[in-house]
Amino acid sequence: MTTTVIDLRDSRRATRQRGPGTHRAPSRTKRFFASPWLWLPLICALQVALALRHGLNTNAFEDEGLYVYTGHRMIQHLVHGAFLPEYPGAFFSGAPGLYPVLAAMADAVGGLPAARDVSLFFAVLTTIATYGIGSRLFGRAAGVIGATSFVLCGSVIYISHFATYDAMMMALVALAGWLAVVSAQRDGFAWAPAVALLLALAFLTKYAGAAYAPFVIALAVVVGWPLYGWKVVRRAAFAVVATLVIAFSVIELWGRSMVPGIRSTTSSRHVLSPATPSFLAMEVVRWVGPWLLVAAIGALFRLRRQWLLVGLLLAAAVVGPIDQMRIGEATSFAKHVAFGIVFAAPLIGDLFARGFRRATGTKMITGVALIGMLALFASSGLRYSKQFMTGWVDDAPLRPVLARDIAEHPGQKILGERYSPQRYELRTQTKPNQWYDTYYFSYDGKVNEPAYAEAIDQHYFGVIYLDQTTPFGSYVYNYLQQHRGYYKLTNKVPRYLRGELVGHWSVYTAPANGG
């Protein structure tokens, strides 16, 4: 392996090795970016402002309701020994005892905004780690510019605001990458055990994190090889083994029920929202295309001397989207494309930092180009993040209707279409075993359509509410229309998406006295 991977002109390690009498006055560019702890708070403040800006949905999305509600159930299970018949680990895409519990603890203090703030905290950590990776590889200017480009990405803003696993997993991967690079440069990757722990936690937080572990460890090898040779390779091999051992031990000793979830959501995933690779490729172009393009251009300038390093960064930037295009899965695609921007950002920063180090005239051109690029990023980020974060209906009109009808049918079963937000919002009024959805249902030896029909005929539910956005929801609605009698349509609640009427919830109730 002969590829040079560290630009000794930019490396602080190389600066120390020059010895006395060889110090050169820092350029204006270096002086401008010489105080990262002045720049980073400004960048992180921008990230917080973008994630919390006015006009975004304040009610829980389906996934948010599911994860935060499950977190509360996990706390009840861990603290009070409550039985969990639903086995969330069997269908979750991450360990239900990690992020959902953190989100539920925050929710108990400050509601959904506090649960979302947990994600924002991890997103800010990711930004700091992204700066760290860029500054260690290509210099402080590259780190600052790269971190700025990162926080302007629409998908990054989205997961900064969203109470789901994604930001926590992304932060753990980014922190592992930062520590791997620092350790590879300073001590031959002696911090391999800590990197392994972070990568194992990233995998357990969200199983898709496993896709980035090889890139982080390979990054340590590529960075550390010119300085430490086979020592860094041996320690990287240890990191691989340690990551696998930690993850396997946790699953074996603590969460065997997670194995079906790992299979169904990751290793042998059943596609929930099929889409063609060409369609998904166009979504990548729309959402993160400018970031990937600028990163690729930046890679070209280091390709001859550092082709392995820039190849790793580019591969890590696109591995997630490519895998989803391979299986044709559109679910959560808008979130998942953000993960790779951690690795694209250092190349983006390096491209413009290199431009600033050139002659005065070129600096002016580079400055204009940088401002133009950041404006393009900001325009795209604001547009798509708002689209993502207002992409579900506001259930505020439905909540009081359901609360009243459920109170009139205490303890009776509830059939709800996409019920996770309402189950979360009404959790103090209901019990977990009251709720059923329109994704899957078994009753009296029957499954799905026959089961719904049998349960309705036998007056199993006290309250039914439908919006006809799932196949079984439409089936139940049509069945109720054809078999009028016991269940009465008591309310039609309007459904608004971005201020426009898009349909109604049809609320059916049984007679209040059960007769």
Q: Which two tokens stand for residue 424?
A: 């979360």
Residue range 153-180: mean pLDDT, rounded: 97
Which tops the pLDDT comparison, 359 or 151?
Answer: 151
Reported as a single tens digit per residue, the pLDDT across 235-269 is 999 999 999 999 999 988 877 778 877 887 776 67
- Asked whether the predicted pLDDT for residue 136 surpasses 60, the reply is yes
- Looking at residue 10, what DSSP letter applies? T
What is residue 378's predicted lDDT score, i.e. its pLDDT? 95
Indicate whether 147 pLDDT > 50: yes
Q: Are the C-beta atoms of residues 346 and 136 closer than 8 Å to each other?
A: no
Of residues 1 and 381, which shows the higher confidence score? 381
328: left (phi over 0), alpha (psi -120 to 50) or beta: left
Q: pLDDT by residue (tens digit) across 153-163?
A: 999 999 999 99
Statement: residue 457 has pLDDT above 60: yes
**Other residues' Cβ atoms within 10 Å of the Cβ of residue 491:** 18
- Helix 36-51 to helix 140-151 angle (10° resolution) is 10
Give the tokens for residue 496: 């608004």
d(CA 399, CA 425): 8
Residue 9's pLDDT band (cuts 50, 70, 90): very low
Does the pLDDT of residue 85 top 80, yes or no? no
Largest CA distance in the chain: 95
16 pLDDT exceeds 60? no
**Residue 83: predicted pLDDT:** 77
Domains of the chain: 27-166+262-389 (no CATH), 398-509 (3.40.190)
Distance CA 101, CA 72 (A): 7
* Cβ proximity of 152 and 196 under 8 Å: no
Euclidean distance between the first and the last CA atom of the chain, given in angstroms as a whole number: 80
Q: Which two tokens stand for residue 449?
A: 């359509």
- Region 44-56: what's the mean pLDDT? 95
Torsion of CA 277, 279, 284, 289, to 10 degrees: 110
For residue 13, pLDDT beyond 60? no
Confidence of residue 513 (pLDDT cuts 50, 70, 90): low
| Distances in whole angstroms, Cα of residue 192 to Cα of each of 56, 128, 413, 499 | 41, 20, 52, 51
Spatial distance between the Cα atoms of 314 and 95, rounded to a whole number of angstroms: 29
- Going by pLDDT thresholds of 50, 70 and 90, the confidence category of residue 14 is very low
Q: What is the pLDDT of residue 363?
A: 67
Region of residue 186 (phi > 0: left; psi between -120 and 50: alpha; otherwise: beta): alpha
Residues of the chain above pLDDT 90, percent: 77
Residue 26, token pair as written in the block: 């820092």
Buried b (16+ CB within 10 A) or exposed e, 249-276: ebbeeebebbeebbeebbeebeeeeebe
Both tokens assigned to 390: 């207002």
pLDDT digits (tens, 9 = 90+) for 487-503: 999 999 999 999 899 99
How confident is the model over 297-305, as a mean pLDDT?
A: 93
- Res 60: pLDDT: 95
Q: Where is 263: in which H helix or E strand?
A: none
What is the Cα gyration radius of the chain? Answer: 26
Query: pLDDT-derived band of residue 8, with 50, 70 and 90 as boundaries?
Result: very low
The pLDDT confidence band at residue 309, using thresholds 50, 70 and 90, is very high
Q: Report DSSP state, residue 220.
A: H
Instruction: Identify the three-state secondary structure at position 18.
Output: coil
Pick from 72, 162, 66: nearest CA to 117 = 162
> Confidence band (pLDDT; 50, 70, 90) for 90?
confident
Q: What is the pLDDT of residue 495?
A: 96
The whole-number pLDDT of residue 361 equals: 62
- Give the pLDDT of residue 5: 44
pLDDT-derived band at 367 (thresholds 50, 70, 90) equals confident
Query: Per-residue confidence at 68, pLDDT binned at 50, 70, 90?
Result: very high
The span from the CA of 480 to the CA of 485, in Å, is 9
Q: What is the pLDDT of residues 398-426, one digit of tens each?
A: 999 999 999 999 999 999 999 999 999 99
User: Mean pLDDT, to the nearest integer, of 185-196?
Assistant: 97
What token pair was written down for 411?
A: 């303890």
**CA 32/CA 142 separation, integer angstroms:** 12
Token pair 């200017």 is found at: 141
Which has more confidence, 318 or 12?
A: 318
> What is the distance between the alpha carbons of residues 188 and 199, in angstroms, rounded to a whole number?
18
Least confident span in 16-20, 114-118, 183-187, 253-257 = 16-20
Residues 6+ apart with CB under 8 A from 379: none
Mean pLDDT taken over the chain: 89
